[in-house]
Each structure stands twice: as structure tokens, then as C-alpha cells.
């Protein structure tokens, strides 16, 4: 992010007037306050996961753990099969979906970015039109379940997220940045279209692939909606949907209690919800500092293209 | 015919390129264009056994049912009001933040605050639902925890529907202001830095720089964002509404948007024909609005048009 916001260095040489001092006080305060507002829910979640259930029942959640306890994590890791299965599903969906999505996006963006491809405008419109008009949730649902029989299949979770026009347009910006002369000279050297794509274009597209790959991976990791529509088998629940069930449905809590050999009322349900949330979100929070700049770059390119 | 023959020749010549387009083409046909055909269900009495094509036509009965009950108007009104409220608040906050953030000179303060403000974009709406639970639930929520500590009575926020539009709006701004401010910061810093320096040397104070340099810089971005949102005027953010409101039936009157209503009808198997009618109505209105608005913008200033 830092590279993006070099600030107004020249302005620092000018002496601040009283009115601009007030401006800076307000600016620093509001930005700081907003940052705290964005942080607090995470603090509640983390502290809740480390607080004794007894304390939460009597006093409620807090932003720091008053009565420290790891009982919720002990329970999760004593019978980790639920969380391991959900992790497995999420990792599988994220890796497979991101890989396939990247291939489809890169190939499409490459062809539509080629100025010598005669029908690029028609195909661009064909894809773009779906962002203006669509059949909606009900028609897609009926088609998936009744005609494609994708019920309880992880493809119902993977397919809808693979190709998005937004990602393709960002990727096309990266493609257009590659000099046409490279493709021309490869052709003269006798390389076929596939060879050009795989050995020349893809290596040059690395920054674009990193950016779009992260967008795809984040979307797959956070997806619960398609799982809610199409997946009924608890063994195939991805993490986020498992988390949702834990929050909303008592059966999910009962299942965890049964696995741990506890009566439902003995499960530390409040702290357990927070601990599960921490376990599900942990990977994102850990990689966040390292990947943030790719998202900033992608969003910036996407906004320029409209 | 001639067009087809040209296409055929082009296809033969560039088989490899066409084959690279094929996966995306097939995905789009299967995931977007075929479900569009399903929209004819809006004019049919759907019978699961008979399928989309076997079911009988019933004219505009489904639309009549949707609007006669008053539900159609109510969810339309909610959807539009939420979209307008969310659009104004989230963009205003993002613009304000982006101006402040570009002006902040303390390097680490800037980096840390900016990272924190961007963080909510990275989490799922399920997690936002967990946060809502942790803050607002009656028994153990932070809000009532603080009220009890201050000696006040606990407060059941789920019994006060009037508060929810503001809560939803706040969470929407919370989740998106980081993302949107990235866009605005890019627009502000996208201009030549020399302009800022020249203005500063000429004695322009901070307010003049904001008024005469930054705001004109973000104008095209604001217009693009408005256009994109206007094209979604009848679409609600399903995930947001569903996770924040949950299954609290007493809130549905003020929080139901077309998408949540359609989803609940689908899950309870109420009336597929009517929900499809709602979806068709939603898609057609959005489509007409975006085409019209874009045409108007194009007439005023072609640079700002989306397509």
C-alpha cells in the first residue's frame, strides 16, 4: 500500500497555518478512529475465544479476555475431525478453483487482448452482457439441481466462482501490457499458439496471475453461499459454511458435543463459536500483511477500467 | 450467410485461439445464459416433476400475486432505499478517508491505519454475522455487557426494527470503506505530484488543495462508482442482509430486500413461479436503468460512460 500513497511531500516544506493544523488533527483522529472501529470486532472475537465460558455467560463478551481460558480450543483440538474435514474441503475447493479459474481467466484475457483476433469485441460483449442481465438465483438453482444434478457435489461450489468478467478485464490489462512484437517474433520462429501462450505469455503474466489468483482464492475461501444452496452432507461443508451452521443451527453444536462425548449444555458454546471463527479466519489474518499489496494493485487496475 | 462464412474461415484459421476461449465460453453459457432461459418460469405455474418446459403457462398471474399482496412493492422500496443509503454513506466515508489518508505524513501511522481499515474487506460475511452476534445478542453481547456495567437495563435490539437500517448501513460502510478508499486514493495519487507541489508553492492551503485538486481528481471515479451502483439499484447484497439479519422474522418488514425474499421463498418451496417473476422484474429493471443512465451520461460527457 505504501507505494501507492506517496503523499504530498512538497507540501511539508510549507509552514502550516492554524486552520490546516486543525485539519490535520481531524484527519489523524478520524482515520485513527476508523482503524480502531475496524479492529474492535476482531479483538472481541479473539478475546471471546480465550475467555472462560462461565465468565461469558454471566458478563458477556469483552474486548480483552478477563478470565483467560483455552477450554474452547481444547475442545476443538480434542476431537478435531469436524474442523479438519472442513479445512480439507475449503483447501481443496480453494486450490482447485483458483487453479482452474486462473487458467480460464488467463486464456480468455489473452485471446481478447490480442489485437489481431477479429471477433474480440463480439466475445467481450458476450461476456460483459452477463453482468447487466442474469437469470437470478432461482433459475440457476433449478438448473443446477434438477438438470445438472450437482446437489452435494463440490463442483456446485467451484464452477460458479471460476470465471468473472471483472477478473478477466483486470487480466486483460496485464495482457495488453505485453509487447505484440514478442508474439510476432515467436510466430516467425515457428511457435504454435499453445506454445506461445504457455511458454511466453504465462511467464510474463506472473504479476497478473498473482493478483487474480489471490482474488479467486479469497473468494473461494470465504464462500459459504453456494455451499448453503447445494451441499447437504456435513462432511462436505467448507469452513465458512460450517461456521455459519455453528452460529445459527443447534444441530451443528449438538454434533460437536456428541463427538466430544459431552451433553450439549456442557459445551462452551459462546467461546467455541469465537474459537471456530478464529480457526477459520486465521489463515487470512496470517497472510494478510503479505498479500495486501497485490489486492491494492488489482483493485486500482479494476477501478481504472471501470 | 456471408457473416457465417467469414466466421467459419476465421475459426479454421485461428482454431487454437478459439479453443482457448472455449472454457470461458462454455462456463458462461452454462452458468449465465442457460439460466436466463429459465426466466420463462415467471410466466408459468412451476411443477418440479414436469420441469421448466413441461410446466403450464399462466400468463402474468405470478406478477399479480407478487404485487397484489403488497410484498412486491415493499421489497422494491426496501431494496432501493437500502441501495441509496448504502451508496451515499459508504462512498462519502471512503472519499473522506482517502483524502485524510493521502494527507497523513506519519509513515507508520498511515500504513497501520490503512491496513486496519482495509481488513474487513478480507473476511466473509459469515464472520460479520459472528461479530453481530458477539456485539448485539441479548444475553452475552458486548453492548449489553457495557450497559450492565454502566448500571443500565439490557437492551433487546432485535425487538427494535427501526434501528436495523442504520446497523446494516454501518456494517456495509465498515466492510467496504477500505476497499473503496483504495480506489479513491489511487485516483488522488494518480495525478502528477508536481501539481500538488506547484499548488503548495503558490501558497494554496490544504482546503484549497482539496477543493481544487483532489476533488476534481476523484470526480470521474465517483461517477463510475455511481453508475455501477445505479445498475444494481434493484439488487440487494444477499450475503450481507442474510448474515446480519439472520432468521429474525420480526425484522423482515424493514430488512427484506428482493434477494432475501426470493431466497426464503425458494427454501420454503413457496412459489417458484412468483420468485422467478421477482427475479425477472429485478433483472429487467436494472438492465433498463443502466442502459438509460449510461446513454444519458454518454450524451453529457462520453468519457464518463461505462460502455
| Total-model pTM | 0.92
For B179, the grid coordinates are 476497499
Q: Is A43 on the interface with B (CB under 8 A)?
A: no
Q: B203: pLDDT confidence band, cut at 50, 70 and 90?
A: confident
Reduced 3-state DSSP string for A225-246 = HHHHHHCCCHHHCCHHHHHHHH
Q: pLDDT tens, B283-299?
A: 999 999 999 999 999 99
Q: pLDDT tens, A32-90?
A: 999 999 999 999 999 999 999 999 998 899 999 999 999 999 998 888 888 999 999 99
Q: A16: pLDDT confidence band, cut at 50, 70 and 90?
A: low
Q: B46: pLDDT confidence band, cut at 50, 70 and 90?
A: confident
Query: Which residues in chain A have their CB less than 8 angstroms from residue B93's CB?
Result: 34
Nearest to B196 by CA among B213, B217, B219: B213
Task: Report the pLDDT averaged over residues A273-277.
Answer: 94
- Return the residue matching grid coordinates 480460464: A104
Nearest to B216 by CA among B229, B231, B199, B230: B199
Q: pLDDT tens, A234-262?
A: 999 999 999 999 888 877 888 888 888 88
Is A131 in a helix, a strand, or coil? Answer: helix
Task: Report the pLDDT averaged over residues B164-178.
Answer: 96
Q: Cβ–Cβ of B104/A28 closer than 8 Å?
A: yes
Q: Which helix (H) or strand (E) holds B45?
A: strand B44-45
User: From the list B118, B185, B272, which residue is nearest A292 (CB)?
Assistant: B118
How many CB atoms neighbour CB A76 within 10 A? 20
Min Cα separation A260/chain B (Å)? 23
Q: A7: pLDDT confidence band, cut at 50, 70 and 90?
A: very low
Q: Is A120 on the interface with B (CB under 8 A)?
A: no
Is B56 in a helix, a strand, or coil? Answer: strand
Query: Which residues in chain A have their CB less than 8 angstroms from residue B148's CB?
Result: 59-60
Q: Cβ–Cβ of B197/A303 closer than 8 Å?
A: no
Q: What's the complex ipTM?
A: 0.92
pLDDT at B251: 93
Is the pLDDT at B207 greater than 60? The verdict is yes
Q: Cβ–Cβ of A104/B24 closer than 8 Å?
A: yes
Is B237 in a helix, a strand, or coil? Answer: coil
pLDDT at A230: 95
Q: B27: pLDDT confidence band, cut at 50, 70 and 90?
A: very high
Q: pLDDT tens, B106-140?
A: 999 999 999 999 999 999 999 999 999 999 999 89
Q: What are the residue ranges of helices labelled H in chain A?
A: 18-49, 53-59, 71-78, 81-113, 120-132, 136-142, 155-162, 165-176, 180-188, 193-195, 202-204, 206-222, 225-230, 239-248, 250-260, 269-305
Q: Cβ–Cβ of A10/B196 closer than 8 Å?
A: yes
Q: Is B228 on the interface with A (CB under 8 A)?
A: yes
Task: Report the pLDDT averaged over residues B174-182.
Answer: 96
Task: Report the pLDDT averaged over residues B85-107.
Answer: 94
Q: DSSP character for A68?
A: B
Per-residue burial over B146-176, b = 16 or more CB atoms within 10 Å of its CB, e = otherwise: eeeeeeeeeeebbeeeeebbebbbebbbbbb
Task: Report the pLDDT averaged over residues B151-174.
Answer: 93
Minimum CA–CA partner of B186 in chain A = A300
Q: Among B11, B19, B32, B208, pick the best mutation site for testing chain A contact (most A Cβ within 10 A).
A: B32
A227 neighbors A150 (Cβ within 8 angstroms): no
Q: Is B9 on the interface with A (CB under 8 A)?
A: no
Nearest to A131 by CA among A169, A165, A82: A165
Amino acid at each position: 500500500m505504501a507505494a501507492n500513497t506517496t503523499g504530498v511531500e512538497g507540501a511539508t516544506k510549507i509552514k502550516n497555518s492554524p486552520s490546516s493544523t486543525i485539519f490535520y488533527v481531524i484527519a489523524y483522529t478520524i482515520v485513527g478512529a476508523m482503524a480502531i472501529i475496524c479492529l474492535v470486532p476482531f479483538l472481541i472475537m479473539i478475546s471471546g475465544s480465550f475467555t472462560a465460558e462461565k465468565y461469558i455467560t454471566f458478563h458477556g463478551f469483552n474486548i480483552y479476555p478477563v478470565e483467560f481460558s483455552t477450554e474452547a480450543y481444547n475442545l476443538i483440538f480434542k476431537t478435531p475431525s469436524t474442523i479438519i474435514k472442513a479445512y480439507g474441503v475449503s483447501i481443496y475447493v480453494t486450490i482447485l478453483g483458483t487453479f482452474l479459474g486462473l487458467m480460464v481467466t488467463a486464456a480468455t484475457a489473452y485471446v481478447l487482448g490480442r489485437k489481431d483476433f477479429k471477433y474480440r469485441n463480439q466475445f467481450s460483449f458476450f461476456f460483459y452482457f452477463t453482468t447487466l442481465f442474469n437469470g437470478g438465483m432461482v433459475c440457476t438453482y433449478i438448473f443446477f439441481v434438477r438438470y445438472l444434478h450437482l446437489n452435494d457435489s463440490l463442483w456446485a461450489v467451484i464452477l460458479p466462482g471460476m470465471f468473472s468478467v471483472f477478473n478477466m478485464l483486470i487480466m486483460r490489462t496485464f495482457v495488453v501490457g505485453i509487447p505484440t512484437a514478442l508474439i510476432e517474433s515467436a510466430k516467425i520462429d515457428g511457435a504454435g499458439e499453445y506454445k506461445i501462450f504457455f511458454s511466453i505469455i504465462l511467464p510474463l503474466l506472473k504479476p497478473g496471475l498473482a493478483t487474480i489468483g489471490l482474488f479467486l482464492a479469497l473468494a473461494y475461501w470465504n464462500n459459504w453461499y453456494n455451499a448453503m444452496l447445494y451441499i447437504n452432507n456435513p462432511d462436505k461443508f467448507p469452513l465458512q459454511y460450517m461456521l455459519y451452521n455453528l452460529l445459527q443451527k443447534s444441530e451443528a453444536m449438538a454434533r460437536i458435543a456428541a463427538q466430544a462425548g459431552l451433553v450439549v449444555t456442557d459445551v462452551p458454546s459462546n467461546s467455541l463459536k469465537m474459537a471456530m471463527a478464529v480457526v477459520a479466519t486465521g489463515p487470512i489474518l496470517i497472510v494478510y500483511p503479505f498479500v495486501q499489496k497485490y489486492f491494492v494493485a488489482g483493485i486500482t487496475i479494476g477501478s481504472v477500467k471501470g | 450467410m456471408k457473416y457465417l462464412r467469414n466466421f467459419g474461415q476465421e475459426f479454421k484459421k485461428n482454431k487454437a485461439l478459439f479453443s482457448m476461449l472455449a472454457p470461458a465460453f462454455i462456463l458462461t453459457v452454462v452458468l449465465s445464459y442457460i439460466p436466463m432461459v429459465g426466466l420463462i418460469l415467471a410466466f408459468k405455474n412451476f411443477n418440479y416433476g414436469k420441469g421448466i418446459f413441461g410446466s403450464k403457462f399462466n400468463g402474468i398471474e405470478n406478477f399479480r400475486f407478487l404485487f397484489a399482496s403488497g410484498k412486491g412493492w415493499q421489497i422494491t422500496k426496501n431494496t432501493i432505499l437500502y441501495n441509496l443509503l448504502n451508496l451515499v454513506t459508504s462512498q462519502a466515508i471512503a472519499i473522506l478517508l482517502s483524502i485524510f489518508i493521502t494527507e497523513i505524513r506519519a509513515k507508520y501511522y498511515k500504513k497501520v491505519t490503512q491496513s486496519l481499515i482495509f481488513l474487513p474487506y478480507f473476511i466473509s460475511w459469515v464472520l460479520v454475522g459472528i461479530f453481530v452476534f458477539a456485539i448485539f445478542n441479548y444475553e452475552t453481547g458486548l453492548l449489553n455487557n457495557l450497559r450492565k456495567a454502566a448500571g443500565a437495563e439490557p437492551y433487546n435490539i432485535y425487538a427494535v426494527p427501526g434501528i436495523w437500517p442504520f446497523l446494516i448501513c454501518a456494517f456495509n460502510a465498515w466492510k467496504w470503506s477500505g476497499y473503496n478508499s483504495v480506489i479513491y486514493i489511487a485516483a488522488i495519487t494518480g495525478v502528477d505530484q508536481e501539481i500538488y507541489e506547484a499548488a503548495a508553492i503558490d501558497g494554496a492551503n490544504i482546503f484549497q488543495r482539496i477543493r481544487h485538486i483532489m476533488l476534481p481528481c476523484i470526480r470521474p471515479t465517483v461517477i463510475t462508482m455511481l453508475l455501477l451502483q445505479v445498475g444494481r439499484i434493484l439488487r440487494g447484497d444477499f450475503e450481507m442482509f442474510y448474515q446480519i439479519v439472520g432468521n429474525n422474522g420480526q425484522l423482515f418488514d424493514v430488512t427484506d430486500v428482493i434477494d432475501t425474499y426470493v431466497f426464503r421463498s425458494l427454501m420454503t418451496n413457496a412459489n417458484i413461479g412468483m420468485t422467478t417473476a421477482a427475479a425477472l422484474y429485478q433483472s429487467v429493471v436494472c438492465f433498463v436503468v443502466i442502459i438509460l443512465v449510461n446513454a444519458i451520461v454518454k450524451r453529457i460527457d462520453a468519457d464518463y460512460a461505462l460502455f
